[in-house]
Copies of this chain bind each other. A is one copy, B any other.
């Protein structure tokens, strides 16, 4: 163990240089900015670390796969992505997003944490494990690095289904994870699914003067009525059958959830929240992740400029997202939403889905891989690991885990709660980067034996 730690610490500068090299390459999937160049750089980096590399073309950005043979027949898959969120607003960055800069013990750049930092930390772990084992790896390693995670991984599901044979494995380290505010490692074992849609309605061919509001049908009121029909004031979603397939949390899920610290104070401070949804506090806040949600991302209708304008809007639209629990599917919820609107008399309200959505996924919290990750996490961070049965957001775990035979999935990342992923001044703390590599190295070492 000490040998791995010494290797990583003494080579830290080299890995930070690699991370800087990777972060200096823009790769904004939302607008196809530098993604191909970045995929080539990733292929080059994987090869530099002794992996045999293949880049697969998809309908979107290439998936870069690297593999290295080990002594055990068992294979551990490392999922990462090389694409990043847009860096805007640029003026809020202390140093430019693509000029990686180390200050105050952290490396600042777009992607430094999410997810280029994690990729490089895992390559460092691979080197350290190999060095500690006389040039051999204890198990097979498979790096799968996609380029469309930040836009919802629209093509990776098909890629996995078409390459099941090449991607066969026995477990996976997902992206994300890291430590909580108290420094304890956190393992996230799943993600809610998502269905994002627009609801839109047109009641007239053009806006009318509001002096005729007793006559002309308002698209704003019409949309508002349709939205109101979706959820009651107790946050219960009113679409018939919405909860039909929602898998309730197990006793173990609830036990794990209740062990998690409360983020109440942090959220109150960072987001200025006075009252949480339904007045939830303490443990109820954490348990609420086992509720599916219906969120309004935005509403556009009528005049929104300075002052007022006496019009009746002819057109109105809203963007919504639904977060789904395991066994709910975006397709099913989309069909039920449409059926509900039709039944409720809103057949004039158009529904359009943004992409195909993401399926929910929840890995069993009692697998040997979870135990290994928790134990090695405690060894690295000196605190008992916390197990998060499911995260509130959505990631394409389901696209891998299902087709690959319901493999166990864990996280072992380089993040902490304020690393500004997706925001200006994204950074990775050097200590977190090092610890993330130390943690993954221990998982790579132990995976053959579980």
Contacts and interface: CB of A to CB of B under 8 A. Distances in A.
B394 A288 contact: no
How often does this chain occur in the complex, in copies?
2
Given A204-B273, A273-B217, A393-B211, A311 B297 contact: yes
B225 A227 contact: no
Contacts of A308: 196, 198, 297, 319, 321, 354
Interface string A186-208: 00000010101010000111101
A185 B203 CA distance: 31
A276 B215 contact: yes
Contacts of A271: 204-206, 208, 216, 314
Given A204-B272, A271-B206, A296 B221 contact: yes
A295 to B, nearest CB: 4
Name the residue among A194, A215, A228, A308 with the largest chain B CB count within 10 angstroms: A215
B198 A288 contact: no
B277 A214 contact: yes
A312 interface: yes
Interface string A211-245: 11111111011001101100101010000000000
Contact of A215 (B224, B231, B288): B288
A407 interface: no
Contacts of A196: 308, 310
B217 A277 contact: yes
Main secondary structure of the interface of A (DSSP, over half): mixed
Contact of A310 (B204, B217, B274, B321): B321
A273 B310 contact: no
Contact of A323 (B210, B233, B285, B314): B210
Name the residue among A196, A205, A277, A394 with the largest chain B CB count within 10 angstroms: A277
B276 A216 contact: yes
A14 to B, nearest CB: 34
A210 B193 CA distance: 12
Interface string A24-36: 0000001000000
A209 interface: yes
A304 interface: yes
A253 interface: no
Contact of A225 (B210, B233, B299): B233
Nearest to A196: B308
A3 to B, nearest CB: 39
A209 B393 contact: yes
Given A220-B299, A310-B393, 16 more contacts: A196-B308, A211-B394, A214-B323, A214-B392, A216-B273, A218-B277, A218-B295, A220-B298, A221-B231, A296-B301, A296-B313, A297-B309, A297-B311, A299-B300, A299-B302, A303-B319
